[in-house]
A and B are shown apart, each in its own frame.
Chain A
Amino acid sequence: MRVLLVGSGGREHALAKLIVSSRNTVELYVLADYANPGLRREAEATGGRLLAVNTSDPPAVVKVAEALSPDITVVGPEEPQFHGVTDALRERGFAVFGASRACSEVERSKVFGRYLMWKHGIPGRLHFTSFRSLEEAEEFVRYAGDVVVKPARQFGGKGVRVVRDTKAFLSEAKQRVKSSSVLRTFEELDALGEEYKVLVEQRVEGVEYTAQVVTDGSYVLPLPLVQDYPHAFELDVGYETGGMGSISGPGHLLPFVNEEEYETTERIVKQVLEKLQEETGDRYTGAFAGQMMLTGLWGPTVIEFYSRFGDPELSCLVPRLESDFLELLDRAARGALAGAKLEVSESTVSIVKAIAPVGYPASKSEASGHPVIVDEVRIRELGCHLLYASVEEGVGGGIYTKGSRAFEVVCAAEDYERAYRLTEAAMGYISSLDGWPLYHRSDIGSGWLIEARRREAERVRAVYRSKQLRGTLGESFTVWMPGKGIVASPLLSPLR
């Protein structure tokens, strides 16, 4: 089977590994923006190749597809979807796994996904409001209180400011930070020509996890839950990143999410998919994910949607998926997913850790251009997988960092303690050649951090269960205004 994989990073390397482990004989071609050596090798080992093109340029991608006539094209990242690459391929009759441009709007625009949830009363929604004009946004955040300020569109996993504001004596200082972040976000999105620039959302707290599914538009096949770690640094502090690691298991759950919460999450994801297709009139074919948080407000709550697999969420499943993943992708692409099953190793859990050059994520230029070396044999001996992410081959075959997370390591074992030891050991085999420091989060997957998440989940679980009993799930911000009565969310109106 000839497979064309579009995308350049760690997620695509995970996809490549899952694809080549298929029962079918695979010939893998990869279309990437840069020469990712991991992807190149996966392709070459099957007799295919890595081809460098701008993956967000529909004519360029179509041209390659036409030359190769693949049996299936898998589009990994969201940017090509936003630019219409999936649609252009489908128009030419290719079987494509990946959301259409219209469907991927659910990720691209943070307003759209939220609007859908409010319009259809889907549980797990947060109060929010979004702005076209700077003046309105600035005025609003002056009174907004305990909120999160976000770019109104997907912005490469950055730009989110979580400004907890529950202490009046610090409120003024926080208000100034909110204002400056509104201004910055506004300018950045204005430059992109976006209609809505700034989104302000109710802040919640709890335990985050990602629920990924594969769908052909009518049948939805959930993958095991994964927890992703967005903070750049150990102890969950520092910058927002695309994710410094993830964990999955046991089974399809996580140590801090129970079966009932899993089912509620699945219902939310399915409802969103259904309404999304209704609204766009387009069939959703590909991967979809809810980035969730277990909160006291709702239990399972939606923070964000992905119109693709998560990165590094998918990586976590590489050692645990036992079914033929390519077959699933293929059936989804052909609208024949009904009845498909996903087999996952029940006896293992897995941990992914990303390693990045110092400088990431605040200064991409500092983090770029460092030669790195990996002892892949030793990592394989540990039973772990190495995924190449933001690295490229330079002249003379050396590998250089491109400024983001350079590699991911995935290890599975029968429990977290063992998987943890393996990932930490594997990290020791990655280093830079110019002495530039690389870092990873040693706390991800550790017993104490999992335990802290478990306790946090218990705290919010008690709260949402009590709200559930009282029939007030999702209700918050109710204020009694003398003369007006009780007003739900006086600040945040969902639709403007």
Chain B
Amino acid sequence: MSGTISILAFEPGWELHRFASYGLDALGHRGGSRRIVCWRQSGRVVCGDLESADSQALSDSGAVVAAWLNGRPDGQLVEGESSVAVADRPSGLLPEIARDVERALSTDRPHARLAESLSSYGSADAPSLTVLTSRGELVVWRSSVGLTPLVVGGYGFDMAIASSETSAIEMLDADVRRHLLPGEGVYASRRQVRLFSTGAAERARLCLFELLYTARHDSTVDGVSVYEFRRELGRRLGRYLDDPVDVVTGVPETALPYAVGLSQATGAPFELGFVGTLRRERSMMKEGVRERLIAVHLKLNPIRRVFEGKRVAVVDDSMVTGSTLKTVAQLLRYRVGARELHVLVASPKLAGTCPYGVVGLDPGSLISAHLDESDIERYLDVDSLAWLREEDVETVARGFCLRLCGACFGRSLLGGGE
């Protein structure tokens, strides 16, 4: 998964490398694996690592784009003649869209032309975009399908900032101004800022994984508090916990709000269960099995007294390969001595890969697509195991007025269909 932060300064003298750097830090949890930053230098747009970039050049640029990419930049980064385009996900369409955008921007009514040329990608599977031009223009566009979020903020009279997440804008001491709707974009230069829209696609929706896993708890996505959404799903999990438990905990960090919700719904106390070592890593986003396990092992040292001799409910946001929950179960049962282990997953069973390439799921390793429930329960070695059902996500999504894409869960639309 990836994330972007782009900044345009209306006034000179802003040390943009600092803002880019902290902006990227604020998006580090999104699980991108490669950081890049693009800026203007000698009449061109150049991209590179933040560490080796010349900080003076970044400030002089007046506008920068910084991003976490999925890995190899193919299909996510296009360096054109007078601009650079970054997409929210790998897409074969990117080179063509980037060319069209470049052309639109060379006219005298750039925002109007942009809207026109981007509208032709309304029905196609176009990614969302962030573009920086050698003239110092910045364009962000949320694709007509939506899927990943894009927000625009401002800092005083001095800067406009666009990002994948509200928390990145807040971390830069700026204010969130608008959650772009699917199809909405902003054209910004030092002389003009224009909101435009190519219209939302009929099947416009937000990726469920964004709310489930990718975004920070402290972000607001399309006007919905990520924390509240997670806690609400956690409350729904209460229906699937048949046995009494002494304590509810969640796999850190993502699953904590779900555990809070479950605790509130059942009355069983919520406890912190684990302490991590080193910095926070997103285990699911690691590419190899071994890397994933390393990340899991690093973040999960149990607080023994919370679990010893207890009946424990453990919540996680999703089950991909099952290896995290397997690790947790083994730890709690054998190392710590929990009496009972009930695992609750705050999303439905994953059924396949992401057709949009937003979430990098390997269909071969999705445990719930290959084993039945009782086998998974045996593999995890737990007393009970439950998933949320699609209907639950549907209900919660409706409650928040959201239309969600659940393609990887086998449901292309969850919630607010008119």
Contact = CB atoms under 8 A, between A and B. Distances in A.
Interface of A: 160-167, 169-170, 173, 176-177, 180, 231-240, 358-359, 362-363, 366, 435, 437, 439, 442-443, 448, 452
A363 B189 CA distance: 13
Nearest to A359: B191
A239 B8 CA distance: 12
B172 interface: yes
Given A173-B18, A180-B13, A362-B191, A237 B177 contact: yes
A180 B158 CA distance: 13
Interface of B: 10-11, 13-15, 18-19, 22, 108-109, 152, 154-160, 171-174, 177-178, 186, 188, 190-195
Contacts, number: 93
A344 to B, nearest CB: 31
Specify the main secondary structure of chain A where it touches its partner: mixed
Contact of B173 (A164, A240, A358, A452): A164
A358 B188 CA distance: 12
Contacts of B109: 437
Given A233-B192, A237-B152, A359-B191, 10 more contacts: A170-B22, A170-B172, A176-B15, A177-B158, A232-B193, A233-B194, A235-B154, A237-B159, A362-B191, A448-B178
Contacts of A439: 192, 194
A443 B157 contact: no
A165 B14 CA distance: 13
Contact of A166 (B15, B173, B178, B186): B173
Nearest to A367: B191
B160 A173 contact: no
Contacts of A362: 10, 190-191
Nearest to B15: A173
Contact of B157 (A161, A166, A180, A366): A161
B157 A160 contact: yes
A161 B156 contact: yes
Among B109, B156, B172, B192, max chain A CB count under 10 A is at B156
Contacts of B15: 173, 176
A435 B112 CA distance: 14
B268 to A, nearest CB: 32
B14 A236 contact: no
A232 B108 CA distance: 20
Contact of B160 (A169, A235, A366, A435): A235
A239 B157 CA distance: 5
29 contacts: A160-B157, A162-B158, A163-B156, A167-B171, A167-B172, A167-B173, A169-B18, A170-B18, A170-B172, A176-B13, A177-B11, A233-B193, A233-B194, A234-B186, A234-B193, A235-B154, A235-B178, A235-B186, A235-B195, A236-B154, A237-B159, A238-B10, A238-B154, A238-B193, A239-B10, A358-B191, A366-B191, A439-B194, A448-B178
A241 to B, nearest CB: 9
Contact of B14 (A169, A177, A234, A448): A177
B156 A164 contact: yes
A234 B108 contact: no
Among B13, B22, B109, B157, max chain A CB count under 10 A is at B157
Contacts of A163: 156, 158
B118 to A, nearest CB: 18
Contacts of B152: 235, 237
A231 B191 contact: no
Contacts of B14: 173, 177
Contacts of B155: 164
Nearest to A442: B195
Nearest to B157: A240
Nearest to A158: B157
A177 B13 contact: yes
B115 to A, nearest CB: 12
Contacts of B177: 235-237, 452
Contacts of A231: 154, 157
A160 B156 CA distance: 10
B9 to A, nearest CB: 10
A474 to B, nearest CB: 23
A164 B19 CA distance: 14
Contacts of B172: 167, 170
B142 to A, nearest CB: 14
A166 B15 CA distance: 17
Contacts of A236: 154, 177
A162 B173 contact: no
A437 B191 CA distance: 11
B12 to A, nearest CB: 8
Contact of B154 (A237, A359, A363, A452): A237
A177 B174 CA distance: 15
Contact of A437 (B11, B13, B108, B158): B108
A164 B156 CA distance: 7
A369 B220 CA distance: 45
A235 B157 CA distance: 12
A169 B22 contact: yes
Contacts of A173: 14-15, 18-19
A77 B116 CA distance: 43
A176 B171 CA distance: 19
A162 B158 CA distance: 8
Given A173-B18, A448-B178, A162 B192 contact: no
Per CB-CB distance, the 10 closest pairs between chain A and chain B, nearest first, are A233-B193, A162-B156, A237-B154, A173-B15, A235-B177, A237-B160, A240-B157, A167-B173, A234-B195, A173-B18
B228 to A, nearest CB: 16
A233 B160 CA distance: 10
A230 B156 CA distance: 11
A255 to B, nearest CB: 18
Contacts of B156: 161-164
Among A162, A177, A238, A366, max chain B CB count under 10 A is at A238
A453 to B, nearest CB: 12
A170 B157 contact: no
Among A177, A435, A439, max chain B CB count under 10 A is at A177
A60 to B, nearest CB: 36
Given A167-B171, A170-B173, A437 B10 contact: no
Given A163-B156, A448-B178, A235 B171 contact: no
Among B160, B177, B188, B191, max chain A CB count under 10 A is at B191
A231 B13 CA distance: 20
B26 to A, nearest CB: 11
Nearest to B181: A448
Nearest to A448: B178
Contacts of B194: 233-234, 439
Contacts of B108: 435, 437
A170 B160 CA distance: 16
A442 B156 CA distance: 20
Nearest to B172: A170
B289 to A, nearest CB: 36
Contacts of A235: 152, 154, 160, 177-178, 186, 193, 195
Among A164, A173, A180, A234, max chain B CB count under 10 A is at A234
Among A162, A163, A237, A362, max chain B CB count under 10 A is at A237
A169 B152 CA distance: 22
Among A235, A435, A443, max chain B CB count under 10 A is at A235
Contacts of A164: 155-156, 173-174
B154 to A, nearest CB: 4
Contacts of B178: 235, 448
Nearest to A159: B157
Contacts of A437: 108-109, 192
A170 B193 contact: no
A442 B14 CA distance: 28
A160 B158 CA distance: 10
A238 B160 contact: yes
Contacts of B173: 164-167, 170
B22 A237 contact: no
A438 to B, nearest CB: 10
A19 to B, nearest CB: 34
